Structure 1
Amino acid sequence: MGQDVSGGEWSNTQRRQYREKVRQNLDVFERMLAVTSFDPGRFMTGMEMEFSLVGEDLEPAFRNDEVLAAIDDDSFVHELGRFNIEVNVDPRSLEGKGLLTLEKDVCEALAGARAAAASVGTRLAMIGMLPTIMTHHVSDDGWMSTPNRYSALNDAIMRARGEDMFIDISGPSGERVTMYSDSIGPEAACTSMQLHLQVAPADFAAYWNAAQALAGPQLALAANSPFFGGKMLWHETRIPLFTQAADTRSIEFVNQGVRPRVEFGDRWITSIFDLFEDNVRYFASLLPEVGDEDPVAVLESGEPPELAELRLHNGTIYRWNRPIYDTAGGRPHLRVENRTLPAGPTVTDVLANAAFYYGVLVHLAREDRPVWTQMSFSAASTNFRHGARDGMNARLYWPGYSSISPDELTLRHLLPLAEEGLSTLGVDRAARDTYLGVIEGRAISRQNGASWQIDTVYALEESGLDRSVALHRMLEMYLDLSEAGEPVHTWEVPRR
């Protein structure tokens, strides 16, 4: 959930004051890492899930104000587009039957939300990108949600860029979408889930590095966003679209090698401070809101400072694995926020993705000879790109296996690591078997959300439907199957 802002225009003096405050926050944060007792987390996890809204015509429904009013639950909130909403799941431990309880709680919350959405003529779509979303849906007037932070962020990004966004995405099949946009509207087409993990400061670098190493296989297994603008693009088109739609750089800055605000990264780290220091060093402010807190005075009083300016700045830099500093119950804590995964297809798939991620992550982070000491950072970055572009068809690098497919890597190596990691966390055997069984089934069938969508659309086209009708028909089938709840690897593709 985004941090709100009060304004949209700031003076040069305010920008200077903000820069100075962010640097002061960074100095205080460095001091805290050396002397402050952080909440170790006890492996507390959290989750955020985004949804698209569709109307009876199966196209984006620009009605999130009405839907949220009907849901009437503070855990459901606005997202960037008027056809988006988000649910925030309370942090919890995965120990014992935690995952099974989490699925039950999420299903109950969604049942109420779906009923509320239906009362205003809409449906919730748990999907990385609506296959029926066209470029005009995210470029015409009226696409943006009402909270002020979205208009402020849009204006700041477009002001920093100084020209229209240029979106240019080509898929492996040769289909391509190009468009200009005078806003960050295309970003609203991307709906994702975020997984949070609270860790101790001394452990943060190991968990972040492990998350980066895992990102390529993780994304290839869970891809669910193959269509945008009527074209079949990447298996996880959300990755290049989000990257391009939030890019503050002009073409000249790109040519100069200026860093993008949406990035995978450029190196393994030794401390969380590396990431926050890079944020301050390389990225100009977008939302220079200055608060009243004196972080030095607060720290010296024995209380944890909010470091609001540093946190706000961090929130405008979109790493796929983002570092988080926060406070709760009078204690500071750190989190790794994993932002790589798309929404859906079902709650069971979402929980399986979470179980796989947490299990493998714990094992990789605690290995005596960590995986990031055996592969270059560029290899991890390439894996991420290939996993997003090709999904189950990707070829990935992994130490000891060289070039390997995501399904084979999962079955031969990563699933046993996930089993061991979840067992270490005390996750109940029934929960481990349930969710890792879904991942195993997905790897054996080589069918995830993206491959099912692609195969279904191709089958419908071969039956005589044109692309537009096929996309609408596929989405109708997808929504029915998603709401039924059986994991995506069990879904049947229409006969060709």
Structure 2
Amino acid sequence: MGQSIEKTQFTEQDFAKFRDRLDNELSQLRKLLNTPGFGVGQPSFGAELELYAINEQAHPVCCNKAILAEFNHPQLTLELNKFNLEYNLAPVAAAGAPFSTLQTEMETMLQRLGTVAANHHASILPIGILPTLKTADIGLHAMTDEPRYHVLAKALRDKRGSDFHIRIAGIEKLNLHWSDVTLEGANTSFQFHYRVDPVDFRDAFNAAQLVTPLGLALAANSPVFLGKKLWHETRVALFKQSIDCRMEDPLSMRLPARVLFGHGWVREDVHELFSESIYLFEPLFPFCDEEPLDAMPPKLSGLRLHQGSIWCWNRPIYDPSAGGHLRIELRSLPAGPTPTDMLSTSAVLIGLIEAIRPFINSILPGIPFRYAEHNFYRAAKDGLNAHLFWPNIDANKLEERPVVDILEELLPLAATGLKNLKVSANEISHYLGVAEQTLEQRQNGAIWQLEGIRVLESRLGLDNGLIELVKQYQENYLRGTPVSHWPKVK
């Protein structure tokens, strides 16, 4: 979806041509995966951070194009709604101090971006969903005027043929019909990229699927949407439903949603995930360039564009740069509360993936995929209060346990995984220490917000309480202290 799309009208011939292109590129990918040495390289990390622009009253400000123009940097891009931006951090080698390197760049960018935003009567905030967001803030009037977003909005609406229906039952309930895709823009995330060698991709991806619910529970930071207290990570439910183009009839609902956790453990390699995306999902953007099919490395631009219109919570990435390589994009983490918190959770996930990967196949028989998927949605709903299914390898049985207990038990394993990647000892101690404090204090972004709302709503009423909540959140974020040490809302 980040690719530029200038054409907004397509014919059946365009779709047929694009499907042929996808088939050809899928064959190219198979040849590439069979090529000795393809994608072999040192592990590396990258990240994308989505952000809100807000005013002094903690409401969104539709000024992303003005900020982008003044910031004038290729790593800053527009997002779906006019009050959102995304910054793409430069890739870094896994060895050494990758997380602190990413944090330094992030903090430098956020400081400069804040200065630019101030010129447009705005400030910048990383938060999964802005608690003060109202229905009047969202709609086609708030959608960024870019061709790719117009194409997305029209394609999803045309496929569905009716309003999108949002039904979320959490602490409170939300039942809402909406005519366009802009509700999706309420979600902002921190997407972490992990480069892996093709031979390791299957096991690394399966390990990522297994441990993602743990990271999601740890990082939860989106408990409020449109004044309703919903899931600890409401983004997960909102994202899925806000662009669900399936009609609400039994036949259509048997088809997969375009926002999904997955359909099963990977059996062979990354090829099956790209193949699955072609079999199961109709193209939204039949946009073909004139790339020669024999280019080396091939761009596979059609396959990459199509994959970008399927929002897997862990997404396989083919990138033609550096001779061509593969990445796993961890997409479930919310933006915020601070750079330290975001990178701490990323360190936990990467460490666990790398430590579990060598023996993942001995674990998978103990946790059928549907239990991993169940864990994901339970972690999104209940955050650090969740109970998840987890395989007890020693006892050869599947158990239901508090996610906090699982995380506390696995942090030393995450340290081993990071050490295997040659991450420095100081780096491991610092970022896993932040996660340990989050668990000890039982305070992540979602819990801090929910407890704060309870205090402020009784004193100020809901609307004013949410404004005050965001203001105190922003003050704490600007201090940079991890959320586990944020003072309670007063």
TM-score, normalising length: structure 1? 0.95
| Equivalent-residue separation in structure 1 for 2:23 and 2:168 (angstroms) | 37
Alignment partner of 1:247 is 2:239: no
Alignment partner of 1:372 is 2:369: no
Q: Tell me the residue number matched to 1:387.
A: 379
User: 1:358-381: per-residue Cα shift (whole Å, max 9, x none)?
Assistant: 111100112275432321101100
CA contact (8 A) 2:203 2:361 kept: no
Mapping for residues 187-266 of structure 1, pairs under 5 Å: 187-252=184-249, 256-266=253-263
User: 1:84-140: per-residue Cα shift (whole Å, max 9, x none)?
Assistant: 00100111113122322221222112111111111211111110000011223223x
One-letter amino acid of the structure 2 residue matched with residue 313 of structure 1:
H
CA contact (8 A) 1:131 1:227 kept: yes
Q: Tell me the residue number matched to 2:395.
A: none
Q: Tell me the residue number matched to 1:104.
A: 104
One-letter amino acid of the structure 1 residue matched with residue 443 of structure 2:
Q
Alignment partner of 1:404 is 2:396: no
One-letter amino acid of the structure 2 residue matched with residue 339 of structure 1:
R
CA contact (8 A) 1:70 1:117 kept: no
One-letter amino acid of the structure 2 residue matched with residue 71 of structure 1:
F
Could you say what secondary structure the match of 1:367 adopts? helix
Q: Tell me the residue number matched to 2:153.
A: 154
Alignment partner of 1:457 is 2:442: no
Could you say what secondary structure the match of 1:130 adopts? coil
Q: CA deviation at 1:255?
A: 5.3
Mapping for residues 344-355 of structure 1, pairs under 5 Å: 344-355=336-347
Could you say what secondary structure the match of 1:212 adopts? helix
| Equivalent-residue separation in structure 2 for 1:476 and 1:465 (angstroms) | 14
Question: CA-atom RMSD, angstroms?
Answer: 1.4
| Equivalent-residue separation in structure 2 for 1:370 and 1:196 (angstroms) | 26
Q: CA deviation at 1:267?
A: 0.6
| Equivalent-residue separation in structure 2 for 1:348 and 1:368 (angstroms) | 29
Alignment partner of 1:177 is 2:163: no
One-letter amino acid of the structure 2 residue matched with residue 111 of structure 1:
Q
Q: Tell me the residue number matched to 1:424.
A: 420
Structure 1 pair 116/253, CA: closer, same or farther in 2 (3 Å)? farther
CA contact (8 A) 1:53 1:83 kept: yes
Could you say what secondary structure the match of 1:294 adopts? coil
Q: Tell me the residue number matched to 2:349.
A: 357
CA contact (8 A) 1:60 1:133 kept: yes
| Equivalent-residue separation in structure 1 for 2:71 and 2:360 (angstroms) | 48
Q: Tell me the residue number matched to 2:285.
A: 287
Could you say what secondary structure the match of 1:169 adopts? strand
**Worse-matched range after superposition: 74-83 or 369-378:** 369-378
Q: Tell me the residue number matched to 2:462.
A: 467
Q: Tell me the residue number matched to 2:477.
A: 482
CA contact (8 A) 1:359 1:422 kept: yes
**Worse-matched range after superposition: 394-403 or 374-383:** 394-403
| Equivalent-residue separation in structure 2 for 1:386 and 1:275 (angstroms) | 24
Structure 2 gap ranges (5+): 393-397
CA contact (8 A) 1:161 1:249 kept: yes
Alignment partner of 1:24 is 2:21: no
Could you say what secondary structure the match of 1:142 adopts? helix
Q: CA deviation at 1:82?
A: 0.3
Structure 1 pair 36/247, CA: closer, same or farther in 2 (3 Å)? farther
CA contact (8 A) 2:126 2:337 kept: yes
CA contact (8 A) 2:129 2:222 kept: yes
**Worse-matched range after superposition: 370-379 or 471-480:** 370-379
| Equivalent-residue separation in structure 1 for 2:405 and 2:37 (angstroms) | 42
Q: Tell me the residue number matched to 1:272.
A: 270
| Equivalent-residue separation in structure 2 for 1:371 and 1:335 (angstroms) | 23
User: 1:199-242: per-residue Cα shift (whole Å, max 9, x none)?
Assistant: 11111111110111011111011100000010000000000000
Q: CA deviation at 1:293?
A: 2.1
CA contact (8 A) 1:210 1:372 kept: no
One-letter amino acid of the structure 2 residue matched with residue 242 of structure 1:
F
Structure 1 pair 254/170, CA: closer, same or farther in 2 (3 Å)? farther
| Equivalent-residue separation in structure 1 for 2:118 and 2:346 (angstroms) | 28
Structure 1 pair 40/228, CA: closer, same or farther in 2 (3 Å)? same
CA contact (8 A) 1:60 1:83 kept: yes
Could you say what secondary structure the match of 2:460 adopts? coil
Could you say what secondary structure the match of 1:335 adopts? strand
| Equivalent-residue separation in structure 1 for 2:35 and 2:416 (angstroms) | 34
| Equivalent-residue separation in structure 1 for 2:210 and 2:453 (angstroms) | 32
Q: CA deviation at 1:485?
A: 0.2
CA contact (8 A) 2:39 2:198 kept: no
Q: Tell me the residue number matched to 1:50.
A: 50
Q: Tell me the residue number matched to 1:167.
A: 166
Q: CA deviation at 1:481?
A: 0.4
| Equivalent-residue separation in structure 2 for 1:308 and 1:94 (angstroms) | 27
Structure 1 pair 273/253, CA: closer, same or farther in 2 (3 Å)? farther
| Equivalent-residue separation in structure 2 for 1:263 and 1:157 (angstroms) | 16
